[in-house]
Structure 1
Amino acid sequence: MIQSRNTELSMAAGRNPDLTEFKPELLCPAGSPAAFDAAIEAGADAIYIGGSEFNARINAKNFNDEEMRSAIERAHAYGVKVYLAANTLIHDREMKSFLGAAEKAYLYGADALIVADIGAASLIKRYMPELELHASTQLSGHGVDAARRLAEAGFSRMVCAREMSADDIRRFTENSPIEAEVFVHGALCVCHSGQCLFSSLVGKRSGNRGECAQPCRLPYKTERGNGYPLSLKDLCLAEHVTELIDMGVASFKIEGRMKSPEYVRDVASIWRRLIDERRDATREEMEELEKIFSRGGFTDGYYKRVIGIQMMGVRSDENKRDTRELVPFEGITRKIGVELEARIEKGKPMSLTVLPQNITVMGDIPEEAINAPTDEATVERCLRKLGGTPYEAKKVDIEIDSGLMIPISKLNALRRAAVDAIAKSVSPKREGARANIEVSGSCGERKNTRSAVFYNPDAITDKAREYFDIIYTPLLGHNGRSNGVLLPPVIFDSERDDVMVLLRRACALGADHALVGNIGHLDLVLKAGLIPHGDMRLNVTNDASMAYCEDLGFEDVILSPELSMSAMRDIGGASAATVYGRIPLMVTEKCVGMELGGCNECQNGRLELVDRRNVSFPVRREYKHRSLIFNSVPIFMGDKKSELDKAKLSMRHFIFLDETPDEVDEIINSYEDQLPSNKPFRRMN
């Protein structure tokens, strides 16, 4: 069993330096009831599952209401926790349904909800304050500042970004007010979680809504011909178990809700052994994990901060041949040992006590025997019949007065009552929301302003300065030619001080505004004295999220480009939308440019990712050699003024990536005069 949650919290926050007895939680995936049972069989401390909607693996079998209720009851019998993954972005018209699903999970006994929508989380804490919340990795938590904001929002745990290094994780566990959950095994997305729009805007299947088409697993043209520059090997940190335990990581998470029950059982069994024996994996165990499933081996590149081509991998025919045949999973064989103490006395109700649960149930008063009295062996035989339950009687202690007759049916009823009492004790009854759920939204002031990001400051024209109220340029290259700065999408704690220096320099050069894409970056901007504006990376898709951002102090927020214009109309307050430009589809920790032409080409902005249809996606260098991948064509709405007016936007936002000064002026003219574009483009949804 794992430590109590409060003990874990104090350890994870660095307040208890003695970790010699600390054992982290083993958190296993289950995309089906069979995989759920496999996780129990393998020794999971906790299991995460998805319901029939609102989860990021919507193509898994998942759990209907009855399957979920039964699974939670079954897990609790084994002392296993269950977390419901409700980790998609929610639209306003779905919010009541989402909250109803959350309430249902709470009533069934779910131990926590894994949430990716900050607005939905705020409503859950209002109506179901007892329900524990875990911040999904889709919330893009990279460090302690994000954890502090999440703690204020009611989260007790943050699922750490997979890109965090050992030093990042250590710094987090020493300073975070909430627990750290770390992915230790399974598939890796090349894009930072919560920041990928590739599948959605190119393939019309949103990863943020559980429908990812995995464009990162497809081939693209590279310097060496066709390759897979976005396909990462699976993560495996099994060689770092002792270090992670010593850091005080609260939960070791295995990815794999799309995997088979056999995969879950076999991978989890090895991790169970490593945690229990408090040791790192041997070479033989690593090879065994590879034989279960791999993409050309495993990687721990992010963890060790060795990021490069050696992290890339695909599922080859050779990998498939090397995969060993998995023994079919045939159900839970694991039993929970209990001791039974029966007391059967003349003239008194029978009693049966179950240990170590220390639960006692009462039965009928035994009758006096006329012919054949019931003997101790008969009583024991009836009480031991625990088949079909998770329990096994290790010891049966019976005290029975002589001359009594107890019908077999009465003994069976006594045994069933004891089993039912145990089930009720591990899944206590909960009450529903205290009032009818009302979804209220933001009340921020609507303005009528325009902003733009210029990735190339040389393209800022006099007309642009006149047309836009705020012009942002990337923080790293800010030179005083704009009144706003665009923060990097990713800032680890180790990079925080350097970013603070850049922000103060930008202030000294006349910047007043900052475009912020992560709630963990807000404190940096406020300390620098800049006015914060929310970027599309905040993934605001509903009124409650907008209200949350306004409460934090954002002047306005650019809505998610995944929203339709009709959905945007549902959101009040100071909402903005991107009405022109190439949308950033991915931010990658690895430098994609290294495989497309090298650092010089990347820095000069000449790199493109070309897919199998010969469509080109511009690649640009980001802070610390990360990469940004942009859509192949820009959004254009210059000739759709009436539609934009109906959206009731507070601000209209433009993105200029590689446009020349003449093209910038031409685009502005199109929006002023409602002219169509003569170049390839896409519309807002």
Structure 2
Amino acid sequence: MKERKEWKQTEILAPAGSYESFRAAILSGADAVYAGGDLFGARAYAGNFREEELIQAIQEAHLYGKKLYLTVNTLLKEKELVTKLYDYLAPYYEHGLDAVIVQDLGVLRFVREQFPKLSVHASTQMAVTSALGASLLKKYGVERIVPARELSLSEIRRMKEETGLEIECFVHGALCYSYSGQCLFSSMLGGRSGNRGQCAQPCRLRYQAEGQKRPSCLLSPKDIMTLDLIPEFVEAGIDSFKIEGRMKKPEYVAAVTSMYRKYTDLYLKNGKERYHVEEEDKQKLMDLYNRGGSCTGYYHMANGKEMLSLDRPNHAGIQAACAERQKGRSVLLKALTQIHKGDILEISEKENVTMGQDVQKGGQFSILVAKGTEIRPRTVVYRTRNSFLIGEIQERLKKDQLKRPVCAAAWLKEGEPMRLRISDREATVEVEGMTAETAKKQPLDGKRVEKQLRKTGNTEFDIRDFTLSMEGDLFAPMQAINELRREALEAFREAVLQKYRRERPRRCAFLKKESKTIRDAFALSALVETREQAEAVLGNTQIGRIYIDGHLDGGIGQPDTIRWLKEQRDQAQKRGRLPEFYLAFPHIFRERAERQYDAVKKELFSFPWDGMLVRNLESIEYLRRNGWKGMIQADHHLYTMNRCAEDFLRGEGLQEMTLPLELNDMEMKEIADGEEELVVYGYCPMMISAGCIQKTTKGCTGKTVITKMKDRYQKTFYVKNYCDTCYNVIYNTAPLVLLQSRQEIEDIGIRKLRLHFTLEPGAETERVLKLYEDVFLRGETKALSEAPFKDYTRGHFKRGIK
């Protein structure tokens, strides 16, 4: 373990959804701010910045010795990347933008080629879950990883130790239920894609799992608060403490930023032994925003109901008063904390009361409630707005000033131009003014000259150290002295900013898409998760490839799984129709999965696989380190919405791609070259989560089961807990069925089609296989007139996403 004195200053990274929040952040002690412009940010509904505002913020950040990171953390469609991204980034690059935070692998490749001097941070939307994925990104010049928020502190420590990359972790604010970037819930239900910054937050709604008496917020995690963990974070090597909240108001940003600044500095100054967080400070943060309490996230927990806000998805406030009795509409309460005039007390989900007076803790007071509202004795009433605290923060922000300390020196000598030098460690400027003359009457007073030259007014600077050299009885108009100061300060400002400026790079030309010969016939493949499904597929002579999911019957590491697969392959070969066998790696490949695959490595790689299907960067790196030289295909979870993303993966040795589920047919046509595979059937994974519905509702059994969960419209979602690697997949209510889209698929030029079997028993698997054979291989459409599926969806094949 390193000695504490060797650790560098930990960065406090604050959110800014608006210019006001940016100012609040830097006034409150942030070292850096992350913000979105008017394009490509994962918070499309935040205020965000116009171009001139963002350039102003970049300049202000640099003048105060701070940094600004731009979120470009959405997936980009082909036309956007080709026609918009360069022009969007170029002005910010020229003004010294410190880094971009990216999700899209195509954007990463684009930025490295077009803006080579711009730092790139891998967004948590990339769902980097181990040192394997981080190492892969390091090769492409990624300087910082924002890991998946589901990682434990030990996993983060290992990532830091093995890669040496900067690590940025969320320390406060909202958690997603799904691994970020692996959620299609909002997208599939309503067309608002989280991968495009437009999430409608269906995870905050109520759902009812089978066995539950009533609906609850099963998918709504509490916000995290980790002040108590700051010593552990620093010791684990985390470089940047990231505060979530680009949708929050400036007062929230200011309060949370100042709190993490305070306690990080206290720890670095006093050490772990003397570190202590005041309960009053925690209470202030809870007063500003909490979802039914707070938790410390996944740093020391894998999952569990204590991490969830089951009763409500929004701000719960804090306990403010207890009801004593009610007479008519008048309710007598006793204050459990100091209550202020203007505070808002929540009576019910639909009724609030604004306080008209201050009440001391322990004091009694009465409120009027709506007609028909009944509050029983001992009912606790919560405060959802602390007007005094918010007003206090607002006043501080009005009064606080942030100034850059500089040194100044002035020289006034008869017959020579007046000179003023301003400097600090970063820059030095010296300007000349009018020539000083011999005073005929009243000479210049040195104290007054110094007073005038020290004035900095509304500028970003504060002259802390000043020296003045005056020789003789001199005269110069005070206006000229003031002008000398203004010119010097402006010159110094320009000198500081000039150090950050860059020349706009030449735009690189995009390579044209190669036209390839498209095969005439369709080819069907199938992915299976159970032995029953596998036997049905292997018994079908028309399936050219079978993907064996790594979770097959409890996981590929089960003692007889490989043996059984060899038997199935041998039997297929004897029948004279041997399909290609591909292994589908897990959706999430964390340390637990890596250990399991290591344990059966010899048996695993001795099987004659024809290829591997991967869903994350970690699996790619794992295969490389284990010497795999065969075919590797990217599943749709490795998004290739643009050709740059495809090129990135091809550069990593992947020969085949799967088209993303969020593209429509016209967008597919823009990027498809006839070699990609399209999923044409299956229950689409809506969420991949570390949270477990089975554990939340019934307790962990360690066994993979399928749980049903209904929404407010009584639609049923299927949830499968993959216990071997400990994650959940929530599947759509109805399967994706593209039987009626044969002609459109043919027009796109796609010939490789995949059926994804997850929940289906063997008989249903056989039925679906026969339908797709009839339609795509034989051109028969009779079956379609018989409504072969009770309920189905075409997904985004026609509608796409915004």
Structure 2 length normalisation: TM-score? 0.79
Letter of the structure 1 residue corresponding to residue 55 of structure 2: R
Match of 1:122 among 109, 112, 116: 109
- Higher mean alpha-carbon deviation, 644-653 vs 553-562, is at 644-653
Q: After superposing the two structures, state which structure 1 stretch, 661-670 or 437-446, moved more.
A: 437-446
Verify the 8 A CA contact 1:165 1:303 in the aligned structure 2.
yes
| CA-CA distance at 1:206 after TM superposition | 0.4
Distance 1:306 1:146, change over 3 A: closer
Q: How far apart in 2 are the matches of 1:135 and 1:575?
A: 26
Counterpart CA distance in 2 for 1:123 and 1:32 is 27
Pairing 1:272–2:334 present: no
On the 8 A contact 2:160/2:237 being kept in 1, the answer is yes
Matched, 1:555 2:666: no
Inter-partner Cα distance in structure 2 for 1:362 and 1:565: 63
Please identify the structure whose Cα radius of gyration is greater.
Answer: 2
Corresponding position: 1:367 with 2:440 = no
The letter of the residue matching 1:92 is E
Deviation of residue 342 (structure 1)?
A: 1.2
1:641-677 per-residue CA deviation (whole Å, 9 max, x = no partner) reads 1100122236322211222333323323333333324
Shift in CA distance, 413/193, structure 1 to aligned 2, threshold 3 Å: same
Matched, 1:307 2:303: yes
Q: What is the CA distance between 1:227 and its match in structure 2?
A: 0.5
Tell me by how many angstroms 1:318 deviates: 4.8
Question: Shift of residue 74 of structure 1?
Answer: 1.1
Q: Which moved more, 1:72-81 or 1:298-307?
A: 298-307
Q: Tell me which amino acid in the other structure corresponds to 1:291.
A: D
Is the aligned partner of 1:466 residue 2:536?
no
Shift of 1:596: 4.6
SS at match of 1:537: coil
**1:210-221 superposed matches below 5 A:** 210-221=197-208
CA distance in 2, matches of 1:232, 1:436: 44
Decide which of 467, 472, 486 is 1:402's aligned counterpart. 472
Q: Say if 2:524 is the partner of 1:455.
A: no
Amino acid at match of 2:634: G
Partners of 2:31 and 2:128 in 1: CA distance:
24
SS, match of residue 725 in structure 2: helix
For residues 444 and 239 of structure 1, do their structure 2 counterparts lie closer, same or farther at Cα, with a shift above 3 Å needed?
farther
Deviation of residue 591 (structure 1)?
1.2
1:281 is aligned to 2:277: yes
Aligned residues: 670
Measured after TM superposition, the shift of residue 400 of structure 1 is 1.8
* Structure 2 alignment gaps of length 5 or more: 268-274, 319-381, 570-580, 776-780
- Of 302-311 and 570-579, more deviation after overlay is shown by 570-579
Match of 1:543 in 2: 643
User: Could you tell me which amino acid in structure 1 is paired with residue 135 of structure 2?
Assistant: R
The residue that corresponds to 1:384 in the other structure is: 454
Deviations 1:54-90 (A, max 9, x none): 1000100010011011111111111110000111100
Give, as a single letter, the amino acid of the residue that structure 2 aligns with 1:394.
R
Partner of 2:140: 153
Residue identity opposite 2:419 in structure 1: S
- Structure 1, 221-230 or 111-120: larger mean CA deviation: 221-230
SS of corresponding position for 2:86: helix
Question: In 2, are the aligned partners of 1:593 and 1:602 still within 8 Å (CA)?
Answer: no
Which of these residues, 737, 740, 743, is aligned with residue 636 of structure 1? 737
Give the secondary structure class of the aligned counterpart of 2:144: strand
Equivalent pair of 1:38/1:264 in contact (CA under 8 Å): yes
Deviations 1:505-533 (A, max 9, x none): 34444433221111121122342635321
Which residue matches 1:209? Answer: 196
Q: Which amino acid aligns with 1:424?
A: E
Measured after TM superposition, the shift of residue 18 of structure 1 is 6.3
Determine which of 583, 595, 600 is the counterpart of 1:497. Answer: 595
Pairwise CA distance, 1:316: 5.5
The residue that corresponds to 2:359 in the other structure is none
User: Is residue 444–residue 572 contact of structure 1 (8 Å, CA) maintained in 2?
Assistant: no
Counterpart-to-counterpart distance in 1, 2:582 and 2:284: 53
Using the TM superposition, give the Cα deviation of residue 608 of structure 1 relative to its aligned residue in structure 2, in angstroms: 1.4
Pick from 231, 237, 245 the counterpart of residue 226 of structure 2. 237
8 Å Cα contact 2:11-2:32 kept in structure 1: yes
Q: Is the 8 A contact 2:406 2:464 kept in 1?
A: yes
Distance 1:472 1:507 in 2: 15
Report the CA distance between 1:99 and its aligned residue: 2.2
2:501 pairs, out of 430, 440, 464, with 430
Q: Distance in 2 between matches of 1:333 and 1:410?
A: 28
Q: How much has 1:267 moved relative to structure 2?
A: 0.6
SS where residue 337 of structure 1 aligns? strand
Residue pair 2:679, 2:755 contacting (<8 A) in 1 also: yes
C-alpha spacing 1:147/1:441, structure 2 compared with 1 (3 Å): farther
Aligned pair partner of 1:174 in 152, 161, 164: 161
Deviation for aligned residue 1:249? 1.1
Q: Structure 1 residues 647 and 601, CA, compared in 2 at 3 Å: closer, same or farther?
A: farther
Q: How does the TM-score come out when normalised to structure 1?
A: 0.92
Deviations 1:316-343 (A, max 9, x none): 6554615533125344523333332111
Q: Distance in 2 between matches of 1:385 and 1:536?
A: 61
**Structure 2 residue corresponding to 1:67, chosen from 27, 48, 53:** 53
User: Is residue 94–residue 504 contact of structure 2 (8 Å, CA) maintained in 1?
Assistant: no
Q: Which amino acid aligns with 2:412?
A: I
CA distance in 1, matches of 2:84, 2:317: 46
Partner of 2:623: 525
Cα distance in 2 for partners of 1:338, 1:580 equals 66
Label 1:225 to 1:408 Cα distance change in 2 as closer, same or farther (>3 A). Answer: same
Following superposition, the deviation at residue 637 of structure 1 comes to 1.1
Partner of 2:422: 354
Name the % identity: 30
Superposed CA deviations along residues 233-276 of structure 1, whole A, max 9, x for unmatched, are 01122111111112221111111000110001101101001111
Q: Distance in 2 between matches of 1:419 and 1:349?
A: 17
Residue 137 of structure 1 deviates from its aligned partner by 0.7
2:720 aligns to what?
620
SS of alignment partner, residue 17 of structure 2: coil
From the superposition, tell whether residues 485 and 442 of structure 1 become closer, same or farther in structure 2 (CA, over 3 Å): farther
The 5 Å alignment of 1:505-524 reads: 505-524=603-622
Cα offset, 1:219, TM superposition: 0.3
Residue 582 (structure 1) aligned to one of 679, 683, 686: 683
Q: 1:504 and 1:528 mapped to 2: Cα distance?
A: 12
Distance 1:246 1:165 in 2: 14
- Report the CA distance shift for 1:224/1:432 in structure 2 as closer, same or farther (over 3 A): farther
1:578 positional shift = 1.4
Q: Which residue of 1 aligns with 2:217?
A: 228
Contact 1:380 1:398 in 2 (8 A): yes
CA contact (8 A) 2:429 2:495 kept: no
In structure 2, the residue matched to 1:194 is 181
Q: Which amino acid aligns with 1:486?
A: A
Contact 1:119 1:543 in 2 (8 A): yes
* Contact 1:503/1:525 (8 A) holds in 2: no
Q: Deviations over 1:144-169 (max 9, x none)?
A: 11111111122111111111111111
Q: Does the 8 Å CA contact 1:515/1:532 hold for their aligned counterparts?
A: yes
Q: Identify unmatched segments of 5+ residues in structure 1.
A: 1-13
Question: In structure 2, do the counterparts of structure 1 residues 306 and 19 end up closer, same or farther at CA, with 3 Å as the change threshold?
Answer: farther
Question: Cα–Cα, structure 1 residues 666 and 17, in superposed 2: closer, same or farther, change >3 Å?
Answer: same
Q: Out of 511, 518, 521, which is 1:440 matched to?
A: 511
CA RMSD of aligned residues (A): 2.4
The structure-2 alpha-carbon separation of the partners of 1:464 and 1:150, relative to structure 1 and needing over 3 Å to count, comes to farther
Aligned CA distance change for structure 1 residues 25 and 502 (closer, same or farther; 3 Å): same
Asked whether the 8 Å contact 2:41–2:71 carries over to 1, the reply is: yes
